[in-house]
Structure 1
Amino acid sequence: MEQQATDLKSRTPSINHPMSTDTDLSATAPGQLRVIKRNGKVVVFDASKIEVAMTKAFLAVEGGQAAGSSRVHETVRQLSDLVFTTLNRRNPTGGTVHIEDIQDQVELALMRHGEQKVARAYVLYREQRAQERAAADKAAREAVGLNSQIRVKDKHGNLNPIDMARLDTLVKEACEGLSDVDANSILKDAVRNLYDGVAEKDVSTALIMTARTQIERDPNYTYVTARLLMDVIRSEALSFLGIAENAQQHDMGELYPRALKAFLEIGSEHELVSSELKTFDLDLLGAAIKPERDMQFTYLGLQTLYDRYFIHYHNTRFELPQVFFMRVAMGLAIREPQKNERAIEFYNMLSTFDYMSSTPTLFNSGTLHSQLSSCYLTTVPDDLGDIFDAIRDNALLSKFAGGLGNDWTPVRGLGAHIKGTNGKSQGVVPFMKVANDTAVAVNQGGKRKGAVCAYLETWHIDIEEFLDLRKNTGDDRRRTHDMNTANWVPDLFMKRVTDDQEWTLFTPNEVPDLHDLYGKAFEERYEHYERLAAEGKIRVFKKMAAKDLWRKMLSMLFETGHPWITFKDVCNLRSPQQHVGVVHSSNLCTEITLNTSKDEIAVCNLGSINLVNHIKDGQLDLDKLQKTVRAAVRMLDNVIDINFYPVPQAQNSNMKHRPVGLGIMGFQDALYLLGISYGSDAAVEFADRSMEAISYFAISASAELAEERGSYSTFNGSLWSKGVLPIDSVKAIAENRGAKYVEVDMSQTMDWNSLRERVKKGIRNSNIMAIAPTATIANITGVSQSIEPTYQNLYVKSNLSGEFTVINPFLVNELKKRDLWDNVMVNDLKYYDGSVQKIDRIPADVKAMFATAFEMDCKWLVEAGSRRQKWIDQAQSLNLYINQPSGKKLDLVYRMAWFRGLKTTYYLRSLGATSTEKSTVKSGALNAVAATPVAEPEPKLCSIENPDCEACQ
């Protein structure tokens, strides 16, 4: 027999790409051999499987000694080549061959070579496998009561018998290791929805839909549903990559390394990923992939990744979850000296959900346009050309998935004089309308809506019109229905509200320096302009009671959800960078506080620590937290150098100051693990101590990076260079505002003195911490969003990926422990909109622990936020939940936020006076017995349909 020179890899035909959207392995290139499997599927011929089958036959005859025998190895090699040659001779132009025909050729090759015993063993093995398949199929059919014949229509229109054995294996694998789930029930209910001639893709859909309906019964069904979805994802990706079809999770240890290489090859070929990623040691990285981490996804998390994050070609996703995390990690490590080791370190942080990068980083890391930053802050100058340049910048920044915060305060107000035309200005509102429409026209890379927030200082003459921008009545040409708005409030205004004094509005072209002043300097200059106005030396101004304007601000906030209330002075007084500029606004989600100017567009890169994964034995695991924070800060710092900057002002600012924003998520879930109610002193204390630890470790990590890479260029003169840490800058509030207007707890437990001395020598990043909303990445990791309390314990969540049942697993587990979890309890939770407060048989301590956001006093959110804020050099996206809001409640909450030293607030959440019919609930089964059950109001947000801000994360 002539020895074949071709190695095994070259004898396995490769697939030519691109493929069509519906991956068709029968449409491979001319000359390629395809195999028809027993279930009718067509796959690319893989010669290595012949060698595996023959080797097993030799092992069956000769025992373990055959495994290391060079004779056996050489014989298998020769016979495999013979089968390969025979099949090619019979199909010189490619074509298809049935799997049984291939196995017949294997038998003939063994007998012709004189290996009759081995051939006999192979025949017996084939017969045994046939009997096993028949028995498994029969058992699976009997288990679900399937008597009639069901055939499945493949993509070519061919009808093949349904493979019940495989479906049975698939569902059992999805339920593996999970308690209180029933694989047989899922399969049985799914089969009821099948019919003869059902489309192949609808079989998988039936399994997924059946499992997802059970999530309300037990949270573990979310993992079952995700694993069934994972089978679809594997099939789509591995087929496209030309690796396998119908692979099971247990096969992925072998297949993932191959998938990584194939993904990078095809992705770079079609310019979807950077070819630079192929310079990594792909064997080392492939071996580091942990397939079992695919099993930790919830259904919502995996569906979100599939719909919006995985790289696709012509709408075919060919990126698998662990390849996705490795691609992101490689992109973040690409400039590291030890890039392979760092990529593995970053991969482990991401794939274990200990830390998660923000959405733009996940979207674009490792691609040709690596725009990884989350937020951009701009100042709009008072010049027509510059205004439209700023709007153009908005469009470019939005195109690459950036969330925008615009400072509009410099633009002159309505009625102000225009020197060039000797006319009067229409004010800032018409330009905001253009910015609003630009955000609609240029969405974020075609992946999600464009998002922008406009900021205006409270003394601007157009402030009253600004408050009305989100109203649904009035002149629509002066409304911005799609743009967020926020008040940029100086301390002097809040003091005058508190002291019931007058307030004066000005146009910025007549008081140009107020924009850049804060603290005592602002107060002195503002009062100077008030005197000039009284003397008739300022033409455009308006006097009004500060309380009247404050009342309108709160009224519009309640009515429209906007403008949010953010505080100018505390953002600047505590800014480490006040020596080189002024903070003129926050960002889209109110957690970023960076300097902006005509020449600098502030940029921030975000990522979040998953607190849930850092709770061990009932306490915060500080050793693990320190390790995670160190890696997270390094990843965020790398973004600055890797990042693609759509406009030069952004690159100028980011390279000079190198700010990052490390935050947290899973705060509420961490409290559950600790057995702490959100509305308690213990929760406030945990907010304090956890944020102190993160602040300490983050500042230490940045100082460590400075020792390795050098300090950022504007370090000298910063608060850092003076040894003033975030906890120290709190004192500046009272010094400028007055002690009677501030009350902040100053307790601390860690060794901050030694850290101060270290930081004086240098630090890598001008800003290090910011708590973002984490709306989407919290969904991916399956934890509670950011620092949010539980919205409801059972509800249906709607987002761009569809509708998902969300149930509080901590509540279910607690009720299981007390033998209280049953179908009646599920109905009760539905009836009471996820609230446990009116369910009689639930104990008081459980009710306290699982009170929802609207069932706790809003003061606890402010108190916890205040404790965190003292440790953070930027800010936090702090939503406020108020049940049955009134003017008095809003006044107390927002003034409390100011007194407690908060820099910003975010959405105001309130309950609407409507309720939905509980059509799926049987009222007779309720635990809470009442003569006339009263429907509770359905949680509804103020003028916003979706409670998640997804622009940053």
Structure 2
Amino acid sequence: MIEKIIKRDGRVVDFDISKIANAIWKAMQAVGEKDKSLSESLAKKVVEKLESKLSSNQIPTVEQVQDIVEETLIEAGLSKVAKAYILYREKRAQIRKEKMQILNKDYIDEVDKAFDINALRVLVSRYLNKDESGRVVESPKQLFQRVAIHVTLPSLLYDERVFSKKSSLQKESKIKIQDYLGKARIGKYFLNIYHLEALERLHKRMNKEKLMKKDFSEILNMLTKDEFKDYEKEVDEYYNLMVSRKFMPNTPALVNFGNPLGMGMACFVLGMEDSLLSIMETLKNAAIIFQSGGGCGYNFSTLRPEGDFVRSTHGVSSGPIAFMTLFDKMTDVIKQGGVRRGANMGILNSDHPDIEKFVVAKKGNLQLTNFNISVFLKEDFWEYYKENKPYPLINPRNKQIVKYINPKNFFDLIVYQGWESAEPGLLFDDNINRYNPFLKALGKIESTNPCGEVLLYPNESCDLGSINLWAFVEEEYDGEKRVVKINWEDLEKTVRLAVRFLDNILDINKYPLKKIEERTLKTRKIGLGVMGLADTLFELELPYDSKEGLDFMERIMEFINYYSKLESIEIAKKRGSFPYFNKSFYKNGNLPFRGFYEKESWHFDWEKVSQDIKNHGLRNAYTTVIAPTGSISMIAGCSAGIEPVYSLVYEKKVTIGSFYYVNPVFEKFMEREGLFDDNLIKDVVRNNGSIKNIPYIPQRYKNVFKTAKDISGKDHVKALASIQKWVDSSVSKTINFPEDVSIEEMKETYLLAHELGCKGLTVYREKSIAGVYTVPQEQKEERKVMTSLKDEKVKGPTIYKEITPSFYTQEDYITASEKCPQCGTPLIVKEGCKICPNCGWSACSL
């Protein structure tokens, strides 16, 4: 009986017959065969033949197994399947070669295999450690190991052998942690210097809080003796969570954990008072945050308006927009953690005297290029709007009314600027603060992070991570009938593990500023979100803009929120609630999302959740946020966030050539229909990435495979509202409009968003932002021959690399000069941000 197999990199691993069956099944599907049971019986024949050829105790190699698969298929009279399998082997060999070139390695390991080619490019470009010459000195496997170790460290200090809520202050021993390098370990995992520094930093804080039974030297001795070896399992869990691509933390954690900066948080909000000293202090703090890898949001409404009197100088104020320009210039020269430029969110309240100037501040996108801007539409605005009463603008310095404006004209101005420049966004005060747990104790939240989805008080921050929904789609066959379902049990386990992952980040994170550390740990907000929604809906054949699609969105978010709350309760039982628990409405049984107050839509016992929180507390004031997933969704090989697919096929021009990316679910369905070929790719590209107007594609597929541009603005908003219903904080999503949309239609969409309970709104009208990617139009020359670089083992986009140069010119797809500052690829707009589809760079990539 065969028990082991030798992999190409020399590793000996357990033999798994299902892998043979799966490979045969893929070859069968490629030629239209639909009897999956045949692939299983053929796999058994392969094993029988292999056993007959091997000597006693001989371990087969992968190549030997694949040779026998070919023989077996030919002997079974399945010549077409055999040909498809041979082509599959050739593709796999080509992919291995491509991956080795990308990683500059002479072999690829099991982690390299788990990620598609594009994911490895992104990892090399932005995530893997490099030496001074820019040469990669870290593998993806080593990256995920250093992050998993780092995230596990807090659990060691919550171990009952060293942790107690009633401990006394321990003495601080003078030690050299360098002496423990190569000795301190968690089972098979050895801690590097940055892991040890992080652990020491956390121990000092917890010791000051009188939570430690042992001093740090005793902790180090325990590590040296491997007394924490039981936590090797937890490291493995976090590692496998990322390598399986079921969950990814935000970019700073992947870049900085186990490395010098040690900062894993992406989102910060800074406040400022109406004084030059305070403004410059905030500017300095923002620079420090950018250097560490985070982005900042600010509400500038505390600043007196332009031209207002300044007592200290007997002069006049420059106003908030002038100071925003100062922040914008600073951002240009500070690079975040060596990975990305700084990102800002500038907010101004609707009743500020400079609000009209603010609304048009980014007209034509000619200034404040490092800012997203949003109007904070105050709750009382709607009263004036509905009655068309003059709306007062109030000087924040003396609270006196400066002037009145027409609220309808003002709202129309906002809509027009959204139509013209995709800015400003809107933040709805009433919808934000209606479910704010700290409204009574801390006042209103009036600020967000750069992409608008994380609602924070000044000096608060939030760590983010996203679950790849597509990873939980399971496809089975009952005869020839395709059956697709969500593995809810596995999803629950992943949600719970991801909550522990993110909660540990709060403890082990190296905060850029002490006051941010203190405020963040008072509320312990985490942001568990999702990605891969569009791919999941494709698999389930649910149109994004259908009632069934919206119902699924609600159900999936309720599920994730429910189990995230249950896990946060469990952590609170052992480690304690967030310190501001008694300042929140949780103690009264309230929850921070609209779905809790609409019992008719419940699928779970939320009353019990509420009661359990009252009885046992809650570890995290927020558990759910839908953040942008630009880079991490590229690593996971899935669609971004909750966005519909931007284009089913699109071209990228990079330094090493031209590539065509095809949505993998679309490709799979078209292959099964016998429609997938170069002509289809050509037609989709000609139709701006959509299949809506391609006559030979069946209507059922046109209903399912809709792009962002095929969906109306109102249906985008309905999707946003469906997700928001079960999300604690807010949601990053772009409301897409066609180029020819009317301003009135956009206005109706804005009003619908407020009516449906959305907390904010970001819009993008096609071509309203100069310089972003548009799918190239077909030219007269015929398409060159293309070769597929699809990695059959990995869910992800097929890459078609042209053997001859692309017939597209630069002018065909660049509408202006705005390109990715890292790789030069034209930018696209999704999740409220401009993002590079090649390397993942974004102004607010998380």
Question: Structure 1-normalised TM-score?
Answer: 0.63
Contact 2:99-2:117 at 8 Å conserved across structures: no
Once the two structures are TM-superposed, the CA of residue 501 in structure 1 deviates from its matched residue by: 2.9
Paired with 1:652 and 1:420, the residues of 2 have a C-alpha distance of: 33
For the pair shown, the structure with the greater C-alpha radius of gyration is: 1
Once the two structures are TM-superposed, the CA of residue 624 in structure 1 deviates from its matched residue by: 1.0
Summarize the alignment of residues 385-400 of structure 1 with structure 2, pairs less than 5 Å apart: 385-400=277-292
1:751 aligns to 2:605 (yes or no): yes
Q: Equivalent residue for 2:100?
A: 231
Q: Equivalent residue for 1:607?
A: 465
Paired with 1:838 and 1:758, the residues of 2 have a C-alpha distance of: 53
* The one of 655, 659, 672 aligned to 1:817: 672
Q: Equivalent residue for 1:517?
A: none
Paired with 1:323 and 1:875, the residues of 2 have a C-alpha distance of: 34
Q: Equivalent residue for 1:592?
A: 454
Task: Give the number of aligned pairs.
Answer: 639
* Partner SS, residue 465 of structure 2: strand
Once the two structures are TM-superposed, the CA of residue 771 in structure 1 deviates from its matched residue by: 0.3
Letter paired with 1:562: E
Contact 1:225-1:299 at 8 Å conserved across structures: no
Distance 1:799-1:821 versus aligned 2 partners, 3 A rule: closer
Contact 1:911-1:938 at 8 Å conserved across structures: no
* The one of 868, 887, 893 aligned to 2:743: 887
Gaps of 5+ in 2: 1-54, 60-80, 157-229, 475-482, 786-811, 820-826, 834-841
Paired with 2:670 and 2:343, the residues of 1 have a C-alpha distance of: 41
* The one of 638, 648, 655 aligned to 2:504: 638
Paired with 2:610 and 2:541, the residues of 1 have a C-alpha distance of: 34
1:583 aligns to 2:445 (yes or no): yes
Summarize the alignment of residues 175-254 of structure 1 with structure 2, pairs less than 5 Å apart: 182=87, 227-232=96-101, 235-236=104-105, 246-247=106-107, 249=108, 252=109
Paired with 2:358 and 2:776, the residues of 1 have a C-alpha distance of: 34
Contact 1:577-1:595 at 8 Å conserved across structures: no
* The one of 918, 926, 932 aligned to 2:778: 918
* Partner SS, residue 552 of structure 1: helix
Q: Equivalent residue for 2:259?
A: 367
Letter paired with 2:460: A
1:564 aligns to 2:425 (yes or no): yes
Once the two structures are TM-superposed, the CA of residue 813 in structure 1 deviates from its matched residue by: 1.4
Summarize the alignment of residues 94-105 of structure 1 with structure 2, pairs less than 5 Å apart: none
Once the two structures are TM-superposed, the CA of residue 628 in structure 1 deviates from its matched residue by: 0.4
Gaps of 5+ in 1: 1-62, 68-175, 187-220, 237-245, 253-290, 512-537, 732-743, 926-936
Q: Equivalent residue for 2:630?
A: 775
Letter paired with 2:402: F
Letter paired with 2:117: Y
Q: Equivalent residue for 2:541?
A: 675
Summarize the alignment of residues 287-686 of structure 1 with structure 2, pairs less than 5 Å apart: 291=110, 293-314=111-132, 315-337=134-156, 338-472=230-364, 479-511=367-399, 538=400, 541-581=402-442, 582-596=444-458, 601-616=459-474, 618-686=484-552
Letter paired with 2:562: Y
* Partner SS, residue 361 of structure 2: coil
1:138-174 alpha-carbon deviations (Å, 9 max, x no partner): xxxxxxxxxxxxxxxxxxxxxxxxxxxxxxxxxxxxx
* Partner SS, residue 335 of structure 2: coil
Contact 1:772-1:952 at 8 Å conserved across structures: no
* The one of 719, 727, 730 aligned to 1:872: 727
* Partner SS, residue 627 of structure 1: helix
Letter paired with 2:829: P
Paired with 1:397 and 1:647, the residues of 2 have a C-alpha distance of: 8
Letter paired with 1:584: E
1:378-427 alpha-carbon deviations (Å, 9 max, x no partner): 12211110000001111000001101111111011123222223332221
Contact 2:342-2:370 at 8 Å conserved across structures: no
Query: What RMSD, in angstroms, separates the aligned Cα atoms of the two structures?
Result: 3.1
Paired with 2:628 and 2:653, the residues of 1 have a C-alpha distance of: 17
**Percentage of pairs with the same residue:** 28
Contact 2:122-2:635 at 8 Å conserved across structures: yes
Paired with 1:317 and 1:760, the residues of 2 have a C-alpha distance of: 50
* The one of 902, 922, 925 aligned to 2:758: 902
1:449-484 alpha-carbon deviations (Å, 9 max, x no partner): 1111111111111111112222349xx8xx423322
Paired with 1:686 and 1:790, the residues of 2 have a C-alpha distance of: 17
Distance 1:816-1:341 versus aligned 2 partners, 3 A rule: same
Distance 1:324-1:595 versus aligned 2 partners, 3 A rule: same
Paired with 1:447 and 1:654, the residues of 2 have a C-alpha distance of: 24
Judge which range, 718-727 or 613-622, deviates more: 613-622
- Work out which structure has the larger RCO, using CA pairs closer than 8 Å and 6 or more positions apart in sequence: 2
Once the two structures are TM-superposed, the CA of residue 905 in structure 1 deviates from its matched residue by: 1.8
Contact 1:307-1:801 at 8 Å conserved across structures: no
1:799-855 alpha-carbon deviations (Å, 9 max, x no partner): 999975321121221111111122222221222222212211111111111121111
Distance 1:354-1:64 versus aligned 2 partners, 3 A rule: closer
1:708-764 alpha-carbon deviations (Å, 9 max, x no partner): 110011101312221111346876xxxxxxxxxxxx896111111211111112000
Distance 1:180-1:837 versus aligned 2 partners, 3 A rule: farther
Paired with 1:498 and 1:638, the residues of 2 have a C-alpha distance of: 47
Paired with 1:66 and 1:551, the residues of 2 have a C-alpha distance of: 77
Contact 2:467-2:529 at 8 Å conserved across structures: yes
Contact 1:489-1:566 at 8 Å conserved across structures: yes
Paired with 1:851 and 1:485, the residues of 2 have a C-alpha distance of: 29
1:796 aligns to 2:651 (yes or no): yes
* Partner SS, residue 694 of structure 2: coil
* Partner SS, residue 610 of structure 2: helix
Paired with 2:533 and 2:589, the residues of 1 have a C-alpha distance of: 30
Contact 2:364-2:420 at 8 Å conserved across structures: no
Once the two structures are TM-superposed, the CA of residue 503 in structure 1 deviates from its matched residue by: 1.3
* Partner SS, residue 453 of structure 1: strand
Letter paired with 1:344: D
Paired with 2:643 and 2:652, the residues of 1 have a C-alpha distance of: 16
1:598-625 alpha-carbon deviations (Å, 9 max, x no partner): xxx1101000011111223533322111
Distance 1:728-1:840 versus aligned 2 partners, 3 A rule: closer
Q: Equivalent residue for 1:805?
A: 660
Letter paired with 1:919: Q
* The one of 691, 709, 713 aligned to 2:557: 691
Paired with 1:768 and 1:777, the residues of 2 have a C-alpha distance of: 19
Letter paired with 1:386: S
Distance 1:362-1:177 versus aligned 2 partners, 3 A rule: farther
Question: Structure 2-normalised TM-score?
Answer: 0.71
Letter paired with 1:851: K
